[in-house]
Structure 1
Amino acid sequence: MCWEGMPMPDGLVSAAEANRDFSKMLRDVESGARITITKDGKPVAVLSPADASMNVDRSSAHRRMMAMLSQGLPLGFCGGVDRDDVHSR
């Protein structure tokens, strides 16, 4: 199916169509479309808009991690962390 001149719909697109019309699909996804790519009639991937809130969560986690790292290890730490200590946190 050719999508030239019209927006690609949400729904299924074959891998061959996705390969041929990838730039068009990216423009449509930027506009909010969600496209499932199929191979041999079976869904194999979903192309969807990036979630802006996910980036906020990552930057928040990064800030917390950097704050913890800047504090360093407590005074008197002599090493000896074992596997159970690591997984108990």
Structure 2
Amino acid sequence: MPDGLVSAAEANRDFAKMLREVEGGARITITKDGKPVAVLSPAEASRNDGSMNVDRSHAHRRMMDLLAQGMPLDFRGGVDRDDVHSR
């Protein structure tokens, strides 16, 4: 698997081998029609990646702020995209 790039067909055929490599710390990009579509990486590396946690924290704070401004959880319709962004 050169440079950690494999086609979707190769990934399907050689998944067990790829999994062993990832367990050893490898990061493998899976491509479809020559374009990257997924990355297989060690679970610990993904879990410790601060950027993902920062994004989730930001989204959670934003949701809580919007709820504090009066958007009830059981609200059903009557607001378009511009209304939501104006709150």
Larger radius of gyration: 1
Greater fraction of residues in helix: 2
Q: Please, what TM-score do these two structures have when normalized by structure 1?
A: 0.47
